């Protein structure tokens, strides 16, 4: 069955890499490297095929997808030649992109949400889609305390009706998605659906949501390595992380306010895994020359037997969009299936994909993986646990 994947930030690097990749996989041009749901453990789960995914999305600006894809090929994010080979798919997705909302939007938030929801409904209808999943892959927004009205759906609706600006941008998209009967996934650290009122909305509308902040690099390694120190009873005394990044992300995160939310979720992870606070911290430095590539250097000091001090360090050099895109596909496929299976509300079982998993404190990568596989098996068998 044709399944809609609606990308908030549809002309960004992650979105375009996702669309190029889905098309390449559907056409058999590349093997599904990096696609978790293509692993044998998921073979019995009835997930939508890559060729059944129909892409659309919102964006406030940006160059057309085909042009962006060509730039990504120049930067080595996607293989040279591939954008041309899937140009039709890129143009089809481009034709489905609608103007998004941002801080400069003069309409009331209620009007904005209604507009976004209407776009989603139109997408579903026009394309004859069985399920639509909205995935937020736009830029990180600065963190902020939730507005008091978001503590309850009735209050929130009242506030919105009264013209109050109660929702950050990401949550307007989440409201629109949930109210339109779509699943919602936040791949960024933004607020998205993580508000009491929106959780209530998801439960009422019977749709699932998940997030947040895709785990693609340094934190992925942390959640693989920190359990090693913990199970071996080695005491980590400091863990200092440095991230060099360019691209749009580097510029966005050079703003300390925006970086704060990303750094927060990165730091919480370690404490949860090790069971005690650890000095060192996470630092993000903007290096425009890095382009789409990201280098993380982590330096860890720890005590062995009798307190003997030891050290490890690692350097991770990855291409962020190429690490994120297959996870976006995984999340779209799994969440579409969850929606079809009647799953509603928060999906903590998706923790494997996120730095700051909604609905759970499980951060260990291996434990998250087992949780995911078990849950997917339930989806396969038709069980739809509440």
* C-beta atoms surrounding 346 within 10 Å: 21
Q: Residue 172 or residue 262: which is nearer to its own copies going by CB?
A: 262
What contacts 41, CB < 8 A, 6 or more positions away? 373, 376
Cα distance between residue 132 and residue 41, in whole Å: 24
Cα 239 to its chain centre, rounded Å, is: 25
366 binds its own copies (CB under 8 A): yes
Span interacting with its own copies, options 14-22, 99-107, 111-119, 176-184, rule CB under 8 A: 14-22
248 binds its own copies (CB under 8 A): no
108 binds its own copies (CB under 8 A): no
What contacts 184, CB < 8 A, 6 or more positions away? 133, 134, 135, 136, 173, 174, 177, 178, 192, 193, 202, 207, 209, 210
Q: Residue 279 or residue 381: which is nearer to its own copies going by CB?
A: 279
Span interacting with its own copies, options 95-103, 157-165, 255-263, 363-371, rule CB under 8 A: 363-371
Assigned token pair, 179: 């109210």
Candidates 13, 8, 65; CA nearest to 322 is 13
Smallest gap, in angstroms, from Cβ of residue 260 to its own copies?
16
Smallest gap, in angstroms, from Cβ of residue 22 to its own copies?
10
Smallest gap, in angstroms, from Cβ of residue 105 to its own copies?
33
Among residues 175, 184, 352, 375, the one that binds its own copies under rule CB under 8 A: 352
Among residues 43, 44, 271, 279, the one that binds its own copies under rule CB under 8 A: 279
Among residues 118, 151, 228, 257, the one that binds its own copies under rule CB under 8 A: 228
Cα distance between residue 77 and residue 73, in whole Å: 6
Smallest gap, in angstroms, from Cβ of residue 217 to its own copies?
9
Residues 193-222 that bind its own copies (CB under 8 A): 220-221
Smallest gap, in angstroms, from Cβ of residue 48 to its own copies?
18
DSSP state letter for 100: -
240 binds its own copies (CB under 8 A): yes
227 binds its own copies (CB under 8 A): yes
Span interacting with its own copies, options 48-56, 117-125, 236-244, 259-267, rule CB under 8 A: 236-244
Smallest gap, in angstroms, from Cβ of residue 187 to its own copies?
14
Smallest gap, in angstroms, from Cβ of residue 263 to its own copies?
12
Rounded alpha-carbon distances, angstroms, from residue 244 to 107, 291, 315: 38, 10, 11
Among residues 5, 24, 54, 376, the one that binds its own copies under rule CB under 8 A: 24
State the virtual CA torsion across 120, 135, 253, 166 in degrees, nearest 10: 50
52 binds its own copies (CB under 8 A): no
61 binds its own copies (CB under 8 A): no
242 binds its own copies (CB under 8 A): yes
Smallest gap, in angstroms, from Cβ of residue 247 to its own copies?
13
Q: Residue 61 or residue 305: which is nearer to its own copies going by CB?
A: 305
371 binds its own copies (CB under 8 A): no
The answer to whether the beta carbons of residues 215 and 292 sit under 8 Å apart is no
Three-state DSSP class for residue 320: helix
Helix (H) or strand (E) segment spanning residue 2? none
The answer to whether the beta carbons of residues 53 and 22 sit under 8 Å apart is yes
Q: Count of residues binding its own copies (CB under 8 A)?
A: 74
265 binds its own copies (CB under 8 A): no
Q: Residue 61 or residue 306: which is nearer to its own copies going by CB?
A: 306
Residues 63-92 that bind its own copies (CB under 8 A): 76-80, 82
Three-state DSSP class for residue 221: helix
Q: Please, what is the end-to-end C-alpha distance for the chain in angstroms?
A: 24
What contacts 253, CB < 8 A, 6 or more positions away? 140, 245, 259, 262, 284, 286
- Going through the chain in order, the beta strands assigned E by DSSP cover 3-8, 53-59, 97-99, 131-136, 183-186, 208-211, 235-245, 279-286, 293-303, 309-319, 345-346
Among residues 35, 129, 132, 270, the one that binds its own copies under rule CB under 8 A: 35
Beta-strand pair 345-346/279-286: unpaired
Residues 287-326 that bind its own copies (CB under 8 A): 287-290, 295, 297, 299, 301, 303-308, 310-319, 322-323, 325-326
């Amino acid at each position: 069955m044709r399944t809609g994947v609606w990308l908030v930030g549809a002309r960004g690097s992650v979105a375009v890499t996702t669309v190029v990749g889905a098309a390449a996989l559907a056409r058999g041009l590349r093997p599904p490297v990096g696609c978790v749901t293509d692993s044998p453990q998921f073979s019995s789960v009835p997930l939508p095929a890559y060729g059944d995914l129909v892409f659309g999305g919102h964006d406030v600006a940006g160059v057309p997808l085909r042009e962006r894809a060509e730039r990504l090929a120049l930067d080595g994010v996607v293989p040279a030649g591939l954008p041309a080979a899937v140009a039709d798919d890129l143009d089809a997705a481009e034709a489905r992109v609608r103007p998004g909302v941002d801080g400069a939007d003069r309409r009331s938030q209620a009007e904005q949400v209604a507009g976004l929801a209407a776009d989603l409904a139109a997408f579903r209808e026009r394309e004859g889609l069985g399920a639509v999943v909205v995935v937020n892959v736009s830029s990180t927004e600065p963190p902020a305390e939730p507005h008091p009205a978001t503590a309850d759906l009735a209050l929130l609706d009242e506030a919105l009706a009264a013209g109050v600006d109660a929702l950050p941008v990401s949550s307007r998209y989440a409201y629109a998605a949930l109210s339109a009967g779509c699943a919602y996934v936040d791949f960024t650290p933004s607020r998205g659906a993580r508000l009491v009122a929106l959780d209530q909305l998801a439960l009422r509308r019977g749709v699932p949501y998940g997030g947040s902040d895709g785990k693609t690099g340094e934190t992925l390694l942390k959640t693989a390595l920190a359990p090693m120190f913990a199970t071996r009873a080695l005491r980590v005394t400091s863990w200092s992380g440095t991230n060099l990044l360019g691209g749009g992300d580097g510029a966005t995160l050079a703003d300390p306010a925006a970086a704060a939310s990303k750094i927060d979720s990165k730091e919480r992870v370690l404490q949860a895994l090790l069971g005690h606070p650890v000095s060192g911290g996470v630092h993000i430095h903007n290096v425009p020359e890095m382009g789409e590539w990201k280098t993380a250097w982590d330096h860890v000091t720890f005590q062995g037997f009798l307190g003997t001090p030891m050290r490890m360090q690692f350097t991770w050099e990855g291409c962020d969009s190429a690490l994120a895109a297959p996870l976006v596909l995984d999340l779209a496929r799994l969440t579409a299936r969850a929606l079809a299976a009647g799953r509603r509300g928060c999906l903590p079982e998706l923790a494997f994909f996120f730095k700051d998993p909604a609905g759970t404190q499980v951060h260990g990568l291996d434990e998250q993986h087992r949780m995911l596989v078990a849950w997917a098996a339930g989806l396969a068998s038709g069980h739809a646990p509440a």
